[in-house]
Structure 1
Amino acid sequence: MRKIDDIIIHCTATAEGRDVSVADIRRWHKARGFVDVGYHYVVYLDGSVHEGRPLAQVGAHCRGHNAHSVGVCYVGGLAADGRTPKDTRTARQRVALEALVQLLRLNFPGAGVHGHNAYAAKACPCYEVK
């Protein structure tokens, strides 16, 4: 298993309430030249957690930080206009993200938790990760 020292939270940068699947993200990422979906986990609007890229593989979600991190993405991140950054997490997504991060921190003691915006000039994940 890879050494993991960071859990990086992302959003899909899609309009509030728009359903997006791992298959959709995989298509988008492959169109950009990625080998596979860049995230290890994706949290859907209903709070269900879906595996993206296998955890044993290096992700493609945060330039310069992929080798030793886990990429977690929630569906959403933009207001209904599809342009304005917004914390669109549903109540179920909030609970699921919290539980997933807790589980990852148990599996990878000492790993930090950061939003993508801690490493890039982006609004992603469109809320303050603590």
Structure 2
Amino acid sequence: MSFPITKIVVHCSATQNGKLLRTKTHTSAQVIDGWHAKRGFKRRANPPIFNPHLPHIGYHFVIDTDGTVETGRQVGEIGAHVKGHNAGSIGICLVGGISIDGKNFGRYTAKQWQALHKLLRELEAKFPRAKICGHRDLSPDLNHDGKITSNEWLKDCPCFDVWEWLDSGEVINTDHLFNE
């Protein structure tokens, strides 16, 4: 069953900022697939027809620190990336989000910003009614005031305000740029 795409959700992998997730033997999507297998995620069609080598990944796209964009689940396939919001959404995972110093969360490389911007514009053109947001923006509105504020976030992911960045017109979010 396919649902209309109503949300495009940006996440982070909660790994070290600026460090490739890809290894000599595994792509970044395969690494995340392994993590999701351990958490019990399983795609409905198992093995899936689209990307059968990724039977557990919850995201539709993964963007590694060198700007490489990989597909995970097929767009239209129910994801496993935001509890209560998986049907009709697209999950995009930026590799990184955690800093060694414990201060500079959500820093991504220029190549990641360029790749994310391009991907979001392509998806926005294909799904113009979809709301683009960060994972944190789908936290519950605990005080019922119609706004999700930082004290209500279940997670900080992706550690930057997706709307503020897109509205700024910047391709590279200089406030959250990883400096190598």
For the superposition of Structure 1 and Structure 2, which TM-score range results when normalised by the shorter chain? over 0.9
C-alpha contact (below 8 Å) 1:85/1:123 kept by paired residues: no
C-alpha contact (below 8 Å) 2:73/2:79 kept by paired residues: yes
Matches within 5 A, 1:76-91: 76-81=96-101, 86-91=105-110
Q: Which residue of 1 aligns with 2:41?
A: 34
Aligned residue pair count: 129
In structure 1, C-alpha distance between the alignment counterparts of 2:38 and 2:108, rounded to whole Å:
26
TM score, norm. by length of structure 1: 0.93
2:159 to 108, 126, 130: 126
Unaligned segments of structure 2, at least 5 residues: 22-27, 43-55, 140-153, 164-180
Change (3 A) 1:69 1:62: same
C-alpha contact (below 8 Å) 2:57/2:72 kept by paired residues: yes
For each residue in 1:55-111, what CA deviation from the matched residue of structure 2 results, as whole angstroms up to 9, or x when unmatched?
Answer: 131000000100010000100001125x65612210010011011001001111111
Change (3 A) 1:84 1:53: farther
Following TM superposition, the consecutive aligned residue runs of length 4 or more in structure 1 with deviations greater than 3 angstroms are none
Change (3 A) 1:47 1:6: same
Higher relative contact order (CA 8 A, sep 6+): 1
In structure 2, C-alpha distance between the alignment counterparts of 1:84 and 1:13, rounded to whole Å:
14
Cα RMSD between the aligned structures?
1.3
Q: Which residue of 1 aligns with 2:176?
A: none
Q: Which residue of 2 aligns with 1:72?
A: 92
Identity %: 42
